[in-house]
Amino acid sequence: MDTVTQEKNQFDEPRKLFIFDIFMGAPNENGVIQKTRSVGIALHAEGQNTYKVQLKTFLNSEFFLIREKKKPGVDYAILTREPARNQGKKYFWHTVGEGKFLTGAGTGFMSLQWDLFAHNVYLDLHPKEVREVTDHRDDGSVPA
């Protein structure tokens, strides 16, 4: 079997899609994060490194969480993307915020800070739903 056929078959295999809640909230007197309102979801397909973020306020916009390796104290970068104008690149990425894992009483959550938002927004690291999907894009990602 050639490499192209192997890759195509890999994308035809069912994979798990993990759905995480993104919400506004604040720590209580014990430091435990208390949810006040759900504001979106993050999707993570099994085998992928990227989380796709959808916010209810911006229904037509997509954000992405990608592991941050260069900036100390930051665990994920929040990015948007647009089609690249240069040949050889598929996308041009824009950093629009950052995500940090919480510790102590906040363990199990990530604080998400968009450059333009003043509210505390959190990602619950425990999936609220897991689905098995077989609909994959050519690049192996899973559509929402």
Please write the tens of the pLDDT for every residue from 5-56. 444 445 567 889 999 999 999 989 998 999 999 999 999 999 899 999 999 9
- The whole-number average pLDDT for the span 67-88 is 92
The pLDDT of residue 66: 96
Distance CA 69, CA 29 (A): 32
Question: Sorting pLDDT into bands at 50, 70 and 90, what band is 138?
Answer: very low
Cα–Cα nearest to 143, from 76, 54, 55, 68 = 54
DSSP H helical ranges for the chain? 3-12
What's the predicted TM-score (pTM) here? Answer: 0.80
The pLDDT of residue 16: 92
Distance CA 48, CA 28 (A): 34
Cα–Cα nearest to 63, from 40, 47, 84, 34 = 40
